[in-house]
Amino acid sequence: MLDELARRHWAATEAAELPRGGISWVAAATGLSRTTILAGMRELHEPGVDAVPAGRIRRAGGGRLCVEEADPGLEEALDALIDPVTRGDPESPLRWTCKSTRRLAEELCWQGHPVSVQGSGMGQPSMAIYVNELFTDYDVQSVVRVGSCGALTEGLALRDVVIASGACTDSSMNRIAFEGLDYAPVADFGLLRAAVEAAERRVSTGSTGDVHAVHVGLLFSSDSFYAARPELVARMTGYGVLAVEMEASALYTLAAKHGRRALAICTVSDHVLTGEETTAAEREQTFGEMVEIALAAALGD
């Protein structure tokens, strides 16, 4: 696997060997942005300009600023939006809001904070369309999926949060792409760590009254909402799979392909073993904990 530095140098070399329009051709073929390829060319052909120190993959300060520096007013603005419509115990770190993530994002954008929330459809083919276009057409660097999942183990309860370290699947998408080899899609470690730390802060800074457990582990991305052979899904729990959903595997695979960052965070909406399930109103209004963890990971990492 090529790291970030080797990837942009390889792309720059390929573009330089092509006739006019080579940068655009390589960008379209690899999913790398033109800016990245041009940076690689400068590093290769102008060693004194934008030089990358030995042992590093980018210049010092070349990464993203943490959200406190890049957008210092974001946390206060988000708190101002959520506080008037918060539900639940006022002393609890779990805050329930009747505002949707899309509405919160729109209001933050109106105030000048760069947050985008959108749907991705249902299933991996739909997710793949959205993610491919976000990465290749809009140069999005990080995608955090929030959604619901079905618990597969007794250790999970309704409204618990699952932060997916990786995802397995019964989809043929990766088997086609890798010609029969098994690829292991995993989350970006930086986003994963930031999400876990955000969840831990929520517990350590408040009461435990309404805080639901947060689990880190594997998701099973199913191609079928109604499984034809549920016993096969149940077998996954013997290998550490916590819950089932329908998109994370495709998201993680495409993020790896394009050299981007991805994470999936899900709230347990129903329990496959016990038959318990949340109501439509609960799914709409009580999944805020997952969203706050996702925002903290995406913007604070």
Q: Both tokens of residue 124?
A: 């991996």
One-letter-per-residue 3-state SS of 114-151 = CCCCCCCCCCHHHHHHHHHHHHHHCCCCEEEEEEEEEE
Which of 71, 170, 223, 270 is catalytic? The answer is 270
Measured CA to CA in angstroms, residue 27 lies from 137, 140, 150 at distances of: 10, 14, 38
3-state secondary structure of 86: strand
> Which of 218, 249, 247, 212 lies closest to 153, judged by CA?
218
Beta bridge partners of 148: 267
Helix or strand holding residue 288 (H, E) = helix 288-300
Tell me the three state secondary structure of residue 48.
Answer: coil
Q: Is 270 one of the annotated active-site residues of the chain?
A: yes
Give the Cα-Cα-Cα angle 199, 204, 208 (nearest 5 degrees): 90
Pairing of strands 161-169, 261-271: antiparallel
Q: Is 169 left (phi over 0), alpha (psi -120 to 50) or beta?
A: beta
Catalytic residues: 270
